[in-house]
């Protein structure tokens, strides 16, 4: 395919709270424009339920792409790729119509199914994984399951709209609980453990991260105002795409995301296998692997404090900076909506170690930041014990990375230098980088290494004087969690 004279790559991230689009100039290697469209989770009286209508994503795609390309010539778009929230269950009938709302990664209604599949398979599946949601659907909505002809993930559904093809790529598929990750194929035993019919509902896996899965079909091109025939990359899950957008292209590069969920992942040349299920042995978007750990409770914690006291995050941060590392022994177990890592779906948040005068906004805010951080640090140490060899720097992304105190807490607790990618929308940028690499016929990992996304000038260095306080805080955090919820 001949590239336009001034080619652009378009990256799209289908998130939980909205969709973002990034326009990347393939000549200057810079982000030219961005667009977004917000949406939310469908209201439900069931506390553990979290669902969205896939039609919402397509409408948001039209809005965000239109906003991003305003003032630009859409004919310049040579390629696009899609990042998507992982684990969501999209089910289609034989005509390709959506049968019910998508059950999202943060939907934990399938906790019982997760326990049963874990016992069957001999390794720990969490309720987030798609396999557990399929079994839940089979048991709780058998009429819908009987009509199901295709099972897709959120970004696969958007790819179907763009190209007309039903496929899954290995990075996102590795979060289903149905894949033999070292072998990069469907795991027949895991599929059969859910249902013998499921194998016929799963689309073929594509394991060619450096090639397009198709081209933009005329109907989608007309809908989006883009050129028909533009290349469409395979895309991947949001964490794999965020790794690209944060420049984590070399082995050992570590990324921490402070968002609705807390996530930590690192590139590895080989799978990092953890039978406990705390560390997910995912594949990445380059043909390598991306051991990953995800917590359900992150930025919600400081937001709870903000709502309770009616102060701004900036005001609360200023107060929290006056509080000591470790909060004088006050510990916030952050499990407001249960937890995925550890797999404690029925856990709740708990504030422990309180003394008279502790219920002041600055201390509670710092305890919230530390609780979310310690939850990730506990998992990170598990990743290292399972075989990850981390590099010396940590890339910090997500909304929480904007908070200067939280950045310092992460640096101090992990004992690593923290750097920030200049582009906050790292998953959408990662999708754009994949699209650009495919358009130019270059391996994605090589393209990112040759054109690394810029970092902010700021480098946050750990304060060695705080190390002992955070080591003690982590020990306290893990012991209290086990005492309360570690069945």
Cross-strand partners of 266 = 254
HSE of 297, CA atoms in CB hemisphere, 13 A: 28
Q: Which two tokens stand for residue 22?
A: 């990034």
Helix axes 404-414, 467-485, angle to 10 degrees: 90
User: How many residues would you count in the chain?
Assistant: 487
HSE of 57, CA atoms in CB hemisphere, 13 A: 29
Cα separation values, 458 from 28, 190, 421, Å = 23, 45, 10
- Cα–Cα distance for residue pair 378/305, rounded to 1 Å: 23
Q: How far apart are the first and last CA of the chain?
A: 57
**Rg from Cα positions in the chain:** 22
Provide the 3-class DSSP secondary structure of residue 302.
Answer: helix
Helix axes 361-385, 467-485, angle to 10 degrees: 80
Residues that are catalytic:
238
DSSP state of 270: S
- Cα–Cα distance for residue pair 280/124, rounded to 1 Å: 10
Helix axes 238-245, 426-440, angle to 10 degrees: 80
- Cα–Cα distance for residue pair 303/315, rounded to 1 Å: 13
- Cα–Cα distance for residue pair 129/114, rounded to 1 Å: 8
Peptide bond preceding 193 in cis form (omega within 30 of 0):
no
Binning the chain into helix, strand and coil, the percentages to the nearest 5 are: 40, 20, 40
């Amino acid at each position: 395919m001949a590239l336009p004279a001034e080619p652009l790559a378009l990256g799209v991230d289908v998130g939980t709270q909205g969709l973002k689009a990034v326009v990347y100039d393939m000549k200057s290697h810079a982000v030219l424009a961005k667009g977004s469209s917000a949406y939310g989770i469908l209201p439900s009286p069931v506390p553990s339920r979290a669902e969205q209508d896939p039609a919402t994503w397509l409408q948001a795609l039209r809005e965000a792409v239109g906003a991003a390309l305003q003032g630009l010539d859409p004919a310049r778009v040579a390629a696009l790729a899609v990042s998507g929230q992982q684990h969501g269950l999209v089910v289609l009938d034989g005509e390709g119509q959506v049968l019910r709302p998508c059950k999202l990664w943060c939907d934990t209604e399938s906790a019982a199914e997760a326990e049963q599949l874990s016992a069957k398979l001999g390794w720990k599946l969490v309720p987030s994984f798609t396999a557990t949601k399929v079994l839940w659907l089979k048991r709780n909505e058998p009429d819908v399951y009987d009509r199901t002809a295709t099972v897709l993930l959120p970004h696969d559904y958007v790819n179907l709209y763009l190209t007309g093809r039903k496929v899954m790529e290995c990075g996102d598929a590795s979060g289903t609980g149905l894949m033999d990750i070292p072998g990069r194929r469907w795991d027949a035993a895991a599929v059969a453990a859910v249902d013998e019919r499921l194998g016929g509902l799963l689309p073929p896996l594509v394991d060619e991260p450096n090639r397009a899965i198709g081209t933009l079909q005329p109907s989608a091109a007309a809908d989006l105002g883009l050129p028909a025939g533009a290349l469409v990359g395979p895309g991947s899950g949001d964490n794999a795409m965020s790794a690209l957008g944060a420049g984590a292209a070399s082995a050992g590069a570590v990324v921490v995301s402070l968002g609705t969920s807390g996530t930590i992942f690192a590139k590895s040349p080989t799978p990092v296998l953890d039978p406990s299920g705390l560390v997910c042995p995912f594949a990445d978007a380059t043909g390598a692997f991306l051991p990953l750990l995800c917590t359900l409770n992150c930025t919600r914690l400081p937001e709870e404090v903000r709502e309770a006291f009616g102060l701004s995050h900036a005001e609360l941060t200023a107060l929290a900076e006056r509080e000591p590392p470790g909060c004088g022994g006050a510990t916030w177990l952050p499990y407001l909506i249960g937890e995925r890592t550890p797999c404690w779906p029925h856990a709740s948040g708990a504030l422990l170690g309180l003394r008279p005068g502790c219920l002041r906004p600055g201390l509670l805010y710092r305890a919230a930041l530390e609780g979310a951080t310690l939850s990730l640090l506990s998992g990170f140490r598990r990743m290292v014990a399972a075989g990850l060899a981390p590099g010396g720097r940590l890339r910090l992304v997500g909304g929480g990375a904007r908070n200067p105190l939280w950045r310092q807490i992460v640096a101090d607790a992990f004992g690593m230098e923290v750097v920030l990618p200049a582009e906050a929308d790292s998953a959408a940028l990662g999708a754009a980088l994949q699209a650009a690499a495919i358009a130019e016929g270059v391996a994605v990992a090589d393209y990112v290494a040759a054109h690394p996304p810029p970092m902010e000038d700021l480098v946050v260095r750990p304060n060695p004087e705080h190390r002992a306080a955070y080591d003690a805080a982590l020990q306290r955090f893990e012991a209290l969690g086990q005492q309360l919820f570690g069945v």
